[in-house]
Amino acid sequence: MVTDSSPADAFWSVVKNGALAAGKQLGVRVDYYSADDPGAQARLIDNAVAQGIGGLAVSMPYPEPLRPSIQRAVAAGIPVVTMTQGAADSARFGAIGHVGVSERLDGQAAGKRLHGAGKTKLLCVDHMPGQISGDEFCGGAAQGFGNPMTTVVVDINNPTEVVSRVKGALQADPSIDAVLTLNAQIAARTVDAVQEAHSAAAIGAMTVNTELLDDIRAGKVLFTADSQQYEQGYLAVVMLQLYKTNLNTVGGGQSVETGPSFIDKSNVDAVAPLVEQGTR
């Protein structure tokens, strides 16, 4: 499994947990690697192919730079499952399937929730400029929200900047009454920004961590979209194992979806122990 970010990241650590659990249950050795840029990720794929691996699961935030490496794996007879990002290019690159959640559908569902809460102007906080995921999330949110939306770009590695940029956007346009973030860490800083701006904007989020669950309990965040990334890691291994042992495929060229799914006050206490144990 070759993903685009470190397993120390809250999201990817859960993906890894799912993959390792599936491997243990199925008797499959799972080696997990990650890199924070597509060139390094491509090299990891090439190394795995050279080692004669039995199957490859790969995330594709930047599909095109990974295409030659993935197609070399396919040409070598190695089954490939893409996961999390890159569903639109999965079949074209020769993968046997894709598992994840459509960022556009996730965004649409989140936008609809905020619209249903009576909100009229949305700010989307994008920490992934240039990645397909950020464009799809915010684009989907605009569609689902159906009312005016603006976007602010932030650096996830600079929490002070996140607060400053979101606060500045809220102060520049007091009519913004809803904010959607694409990451749990960003959501926590957005809570700070809303408070400092003396704004009453409702906050929706994507992904999960324990701090965000506390903010949902406290009413500081309305909901978070949960892409159930444990399933993504788990099912990628299952799909490869079934293909290797029985030539099974699932999805028919379409993504096997693990969402949209939401955590809010109605289910936060049930989900919280699962987040603590690293499976949600």
Q: What is the pLDDT of residues 152-204, one digit of tens each?
A: 999 988 999 999 999 999 999 999 999 999 988 899 999 999 999 999 999 99
pLDDT for 145 beyond 90: yes
Query: Average model confidence (pLDDT) for the chain?
Result: 94
* pLDDT, position 133: 76
Rounded to whole angstroms, how far apart are CA atoms 229 and 3?
12
The pTM of this model reads 0.88
In the block, residue with structure tokens 């190394």: 47
Q: Could you read off the pLDDT of 216-273 as tens digits, one per residue?
A: 999 999 999 998 999 999 999 999 999 999 999 999 989 999 988 999 999 999 999 9
pLDDT band at 132 (very low <50, low <70, confident <90, very high): confident
| Residues in contact with 99: Cβ distance below 8 Å, sequence separation at least 6, in sequence order | 81, 82, 83, 84, 231, 232, 235, 236, 239, 251, 255, 256, 258
Length of the chain: 280
Domains and CATH numbers, the chain: 2-101+228-259 (3.40.50.2300), 103-225 (3.40.50.2300)
In the block, residue with structure tokens 């007879």: 77
Q: Could you read off the pLDDT of 60-104 as tens digits, one per residue?
A: 988 999 999 999 999 999 999 999 988 989 999 999 999 998 888
User: How does 203-215 read in b/e, with b if 16+ C-beta sit within 10 Å?
Assistant: bbbbbbbeebbeb
pLDDT cut 70: percent of the chain above it: 99
